[in-house]
Amino acid sequence: MAAGAMKKTKTFYEFFHTKRRELGITLREFCRNNKFDVGNVSKLERGKFSPPKREKLEEYAKALGIKKGTDDWITFFDLASIDAGRIPEDIVSDEKAVLALPMLFRTLRDKSVSDEDLDKIINIVKDS
């Protein structure tokens, strides 16, 4: 890996842990400073707990210094949704995106998708 290059995290748990470590504080300090249960956060960082609902995620994001609207904010919530087995809320609330999901899933599974369906997916992505 090149100097200065950071390994991309693949899970919510890794991302959470990395962001806390970037603060330069221990798990206990992080929890004490933010009134979080150390056992729960420890289990969350180790992937023993499923990511919580949005309200608690927002508390964690704020405590981790993740600013709303940033790439880290989007990554934090997307990874939480993925690891919880949910489709991200902003996608579910977009009617056009929801209609395109079956086509997208087929594409990702490397199943046959018509050129017309592929164009629909491309147009939805461009419009987002």
Model pTM score: 0.74
Asked whether the predicted pLDDT for residue 54 surpasses 70, the reply is yes
What's the pLDDT tens digit per position in 77-99?
A: 999 999 988 888 888 888 888 88
CA–CA separation, 83 and 116 (whole Å) = 31
The one-letter amino acid code at 94 reads D
Residue 104, CA distances (Å) to 10, 113, 122, 128 in order: 21, 9, 10, 15
Q: Using the 8-state DSSP alphabet, how is residue 11 labeled?
A: S
Distances (CA, A) of 97 to 39, 74, 114, 122: 38, 17, 18, 11
